[in-house]
Amino acid sequence: MSCDTYRDLMMKYFDGDINDVECAQLRQHTKICKSCREEFEQMKGILESLESDSLAEPPSDFQDQVMAKIDSFEKERKRNLEAVIYGIPILILISLPAIIFIRFSGNRVMDMMINAFEYFMPFTGVSDVIGNIVSALNIIVSGMSERMAQGGRELMKSYNDVLMMLVAVLIFVEWLFIKLVKRSWRKA
Amino acid sequence: MEVSDLELVQQCLSGDKNAFSEIVARYKKLIYSVVYNLTPDKQEVNDIAQEVFIRIYKSLDRYNPQYKFSTWAVKIATNLCLDMLRKKKVNSVPLEEIAGASSNVDTPEANYIKNERSRQIRKAIDELPEKYRVPIILFHQNGLSYEEMTKVLNEPMTIVKNRLYRARLMLREKLADIRKEEVL
């Protein structure tokens, strides 16, 4: 057998996968072959030193450190989840009726708001100034959105019932969603 | 009777944090020493090892029970260590004194030689290309089997074996060169 064959046996030896016969063959060969003996001894020294030197102990409070990090990660995740679960539906719930209300009733809402403002602010001049500003804004906005609003209003008039049903369905779905997530929280 | 790893994972997934604490207790030594062996900068070992467990925690729902839990955990640890190394692209290896293995029976001189020797070996390993370095560390320092290494490294047995053989030869050559330099 050539030295290459014994080199394979060496690797098997370091794999811990050598049988008695092969081990005896290897030992026999290293007795008579200097280069193989050197190679074997050197490699054995290196790998044994490597193996003896491998055990690093974690600090005694390692487990606590990890669990503290996990806790803060969980809290963060909960906060994010809360923000999504409560934030988005609340935003929708608040904004949806407002949008629909203004859409349906148009300028009347604006008048109501100005009247309310006048009621709470007992200075007559103020409401005039605000009225002027609002009417100026109205002219600008109405110029731009007249066509869009016209189209939208017509659409809403013809599909009034459908829209109301959609809103009801949306609110119902949101309520279900919140319930489901809360239940999964309790489980977790 | 001891609770199995899979049961612990399931308990964690249903919200029992104590179960994860038990997982950390079981595998902290293994993970810590894998990270220790794969990270040249020893000051970072603790942080990286903690990060490994956080990653394990985050991906518990993706744990495949066909793997041994230890294999899966070592895989996560190995990947994280290699990611960190690639990000840092360390060219110079810090000259870290490895004194942990010294026993108090040895004389100071013997101790010094031993430490010097293990420092050289450590340095030679850190200089090996990644694909040779990782198998030799996992096999000889962390005691993984070939079967486990194929799963951790996602490579077939023949490739893992070849790389480990090649790594041993490269290591011996490198250290033989250092010896020659010392003699001169």
pLDDT (tens digit per residue) in A125-179: 666 776 677 777 777 766 666 666 677 677 777 777 777 888 888 788 777 777 7
pLDDT value for A123: 60
* Tokens 């060219």 -> residue: B91
B74: CB partners within 8 A, 6+ apart = B30, B31, B34, B138, B142, B144, B148, B152
Tens digit of each residue's pLDDT (9 = 90 or more) over B57-72: 999 999 988 888 999 9
B178: chain A residues, CB-CB within 8 Å? none
Query: The tokens 């000259």 sit on which residue?
Result: B95
For B104-140, the pLDDT digits (tens) are 456 777 777 777 888 888 888 888 998 999 999 999 9
Instruction: For residues B36 and B34, give the distance between their C-alpha atoms in angstroms, rounded to a whole number.
Output: 5
**Share of residues in chain A with pLDDT > 70 (%):** 67
Q: Which chain B residues contact residue A42 at CB under 8 A? A: 172, 175-176
Question: Which residue does chain B place closest to A57, by CA atoms?
Answer: B29
Q: What is the pLDDT of residue A122?
A: 59
**Between A70 and A91, residue with greater pLDDT:** A70
**What Å distances lie between residue A18 and A8, A24, A26, A89, CA to CA?**
10, 10, 10, 67
pLDDT above 90 for B91 = no
Q: Is the pLDDT of residue A48 over 60?
A: yes
A179 residue type, one letter: K
Would you say A6 and A29 are in contact if contact means Cβ atoms under 8 Å apart? Answer: yes
Looking at the complex, does the CB of residue A4 fall below 8 Å from at least one CB of chain B? Answer: no
B33/A39 CB distance under 8 A: no
Nearest-by-Cβ selection for B32 from A39, A50, A56: A56
10 Å Cβ neighbour count for B56? Answer: 24
ipTM for this model: 0.73
How far apart are alpha carbons A98 and A96 in whole angstroms? 5
Please report which confidence band the pLDDT of residue B162 belongs to, taking 50, 70 and 90 as the band edges: very high
What average pLDDT does this structure show over B19-26? 92
More confident of the two residues A188 and A95: A95
Interface list for A 23-42 with B (CB within 8 A): 39, 42
Structural contact between residues B6 and B68, judged by C-beta atoms closer than 8 angstroms: no
Average pLDDT over residues B138-160: 91
Q: What torsion, rounded to 10 degrees, do the Cα atoms B117, B119, B124, B126 define?
A: 160
- A37 CB neighbours in chain B (<8 A) are none
Of the candidates B131, B113, B134, the one whose C-alpha atom is nearest the C-alpha of residue B179 is B113
pLDDT bracket for residue B42 (50, 70, 90):
confident
Closest by Cα among B10, B104, B130, B24 to A71: B24
User: Mutate which of B53, B105, B149 to test chain A, going by most A C-beta atoms within 10 A?
Assistant: B53
Residues A81-98 have a mean pLDDT of: 74
Determine the distance in angstroms separating the CA of A178 from the nearest CA of chain B, rounded to an integer: 20
Query: Stretch B158-179: mean pLDDT, rounded?
Result: 88
Question: CA-nearest residue of chain A to B102?
Answer: A53
Going by the DSSP 8-state scheme, the letter that residue A58 receives in this structure is P
- In A44-73, the residues whose Cβ lies within 8 Å of chain B are 46-47, 49-59, 62-63, 65-67, 69-71, 73
- Beta carbons of B118 and A51 less than 8 Å apart: no
Asked if the Cβ–Cβ distance from B32 to A49 is below 8 Å, we say no
pLDDT value at position B53? Answer: 94
The answer to whether the Cα torsion of A21, A27, A33, A38 is positive or negative is: positive
Q: Is the pLDDT of residue B179 over 80?
A: no
- Is A139's Cβ below 8 Å from some Cβ in B? no
What is the arithmetic mean of pLDDT over A36-49?
88
A93 three-state secondary structure: helix
Percent of chain A's residues with pLDDT above 90: 11
Q: Residue B158: its pLDDT value, please?
A: 93
* Cβ partners under 8 Å of residue B66, min gap 6: none
Euclidean distance between CA atoms B125 and A49, whole angstroms? 12
Query: Who has greater pLDDT, B36 or B106?
Result: B36
Please give the biggest Cα pair distance in chain A: 116
**Confidence label for B102 from pLDDT (cuts 50, 70 and 90):** very low
d(CA B66, CA B148): 12
Average pLDDT, chain B: 84
Number of A–B residue contacts, CB under 8 Å = 97
pLDDT at position B146 is 92
For chain B, report the end-to-end CA distance as a whole number of angstroms: 61
The rounded Cα B107 to chain-centroid distance in angstroms is: 30
Q: Among A3-7, A119-123, B58-62, where is mean pLDDT lowest?
A: A119-123
